[in-house]
Amino acid sequence: MNEHTGGARRLWIRNPMAILAAEAAGGVVVEGTRLVECVPAGGRPAAPVHETFDAARHVVIPGLVNTHHHFFQTLTRAHPLAINKPLFPWLQALYTVWDRLTPEAFRLATRLAYTELLLSGCTTAGDHHYLFPKGLEAAVDIQVEEARALGIRAFVTRGSMSLSVRDGGLPPDALVQDDDTILADSERVLSLFHDPAPGAMVQIGLAPCSPFNVTKRLMRESAALAERHDCRLHTHLGETLDEDAYCLATFGQRPVDYLEEVGWMKARTWLAHGIHFTDDEVARLGRAGVGVCHCPTSNMTLASGQCRTCELEAAGSPVGLGVDGSASNDSSNLMEGVRHALMLNRLTYGAERVTHLDALRWATEGSAACLGRSDIGRIEAGREADLALFTLDELRFSGAHDPLAALVLCGAHRADRVMVAGQWRVIDGHPVGLDTRRLREEHTQLARHLFGAV
């Protein structure tokens, strides 16, 4: 059915099997890059539409928002030097191969990670890139180019490491940069790419990697730079007990005290992992509005611990989801991460305390809040038209009665359609304009050539 009218083109995504939005059982209307109307059950759009899409086979949710990843790690999945290790030994093992990263390999790793995320229903892809070996100084530029080519919304954080082994840090000399180089490039990429406006397709954040591989000066000056450019701040914090011990031995303080001393205890900050916090630290983070990205799959793989999601939310901290690096997750699938978040948090808090709707909320509205965005993360008029549509056609869903619950409980992992800013970017389970077979072959070949076991 088509109903033609003048002005901007309007698309009615009509009568979905189920939709994660109140008063939208009849679907939603997309005009330009935005959602302009939620249609009630049995209703019709208030104004004529140019086109309709019959969503009777689809479960519709807001596009998922990934708030922590390391794209380059897709090249070292299941690496024999690193499997079956906790975080610090895992890092030390992989640092010995990551210095081989080339711009060509990084571009393919980025393209593959964006594509995996998009296919899982993710419409906003955050990455924390902190690895800048010689020759890869334009890493952020590459990530922005690849996001624009694929049509995915991107939140790229300019990460950094400035303390090597000789300075008391963990990484080798070849993987670190000095503070001045990092700050100059941070200012460069902010000036070039950061768009603070609603509807932005690319935003930049600043992300010194963690307390055990950057200086306090870099943390402080990054915070000042973020204030000047109105951008977000991101770092790893509270991930392992080893990190607690390092901070106590090196700084004479726990990680949250460190965060406060360097001027990061503020609402523009969100943290990766946030596992090992005391009750008092949870309360302090909540009062400051500091967000936390929960990374359940990675936390289970490395046996790092369990994020205190419910306590953090109750205290006032936004809680989002991230897949984390594909060498500690071994996947870039955020829908899979939603299921893992549900399972791990039920194990932590009980079956009645955490629902499938909580896990979906963390991956959408919660993640958007971590990124400081009120224009994505929910299906409602005025928000960006970022949508993930799943079918329940596989055997795993047979017999399921609640379609939204089935997405999580029965293990949905690949979207049938994905819309970003009003444009279909995945159709019939395939990314538009991208040969995934060729991408996989090229990526695999480079991974084996550069990072094969030594």
For residue 165, list its beta bridge partners.
none
Sort residue 382 into left (φ over 0), alpha (ψ -120 to 50) or beta: left
pLDDT of residue 453: 58
Half-sphere exposure of 170 (CA within 13 A, CB side): 22
C-beta of residue 131 within 8 angstroms of C-beta of residue 452: no
**One-letter amino acid for residue 2 of the chain:** N
Grouping H, G, I as helix, E, B as strand and the rest as coil, residue 340 is helix
Q: Tens digit of pLDDT per residue, the chain (454 long)? A: 344 444 689 999 999 999 999 999 999 999 999 999 999 999 999 999 999 999 999 999 999 999 999 999 999 999 999 999 999 999 999 999 999 999 999 999 999 999 999 999 999 999 999 999 999 999 999 999 999 999 999 999 999 999 998 888 888 899 999 999 999 999 999 999 999 999 999 999 999 999 989 999 999 999 999 999 999 999 999 999 999 999 999 999 999 999 999 999 999 999 999 999 999 999 999 999 999 999 999 999 999 999 999 999 999 999 999 999 988 999 999 999 999 999 999 999 999 999 999 999 999 999 999 999 999 999 999 999 999 999 999 999 999 999 999 999 999 999 999 999 999 999 999 999 999 999 999 999 999 999 985 4
Alpha carbon distances (Å) from 269 to 219, 238, 265, 313, 317: 12, 14, 7, 15, 10
For residue 158, list its beta bridge partners.
129, 206
Grouping H, G, I as helix, E, B as strand and the rest as coil, residue 2 is coil
The ranges assigned to domains in the chain are: 10-62+381-431, 64-370
H/E stretch holding 370 reads helix 367-370
Which residues have C-beta within 8 Å of that of residue 16, sequence separation ≥ 6? Answer: 25, 27, 55, 56, 58, 59, 60, 389
Token readout for 255 is 């990680």
Token readout for 365 is 């509205």
| pTM for the model | 0.96
pLDDT of residue 1: 36
Q: Please state, rounded to an integer, the average pLDDT across all residues of the chain.
A: 96
Token readout for 396 is 């795993």
> Which ranges in 195-295 belong to alpha helices (H)?
216-229, 241-251, 255-261, 279-288
Which residues have C-beta within 8 Å of that of residue 428, sequence separation ≥ 6? Answer: 416, 417
CA 148 to the chain's CA centroid: 17
Half-sphere exposure of 4 (CA within 13 A, CB side): 0
Q: Which one is the CATH code of 64-370: 3.30.420.40, 3.90.1170.40, 1.10.30.50, 3.20.20.140? A: 3.20.20.140
pLDDT of residue 4: 44
Check whether domain 10-62+381-431 has CATH 2.30.40.10, yes or no: yes
C-beta of residue 47 within 8 angstroms of C-beta of residue 62: no
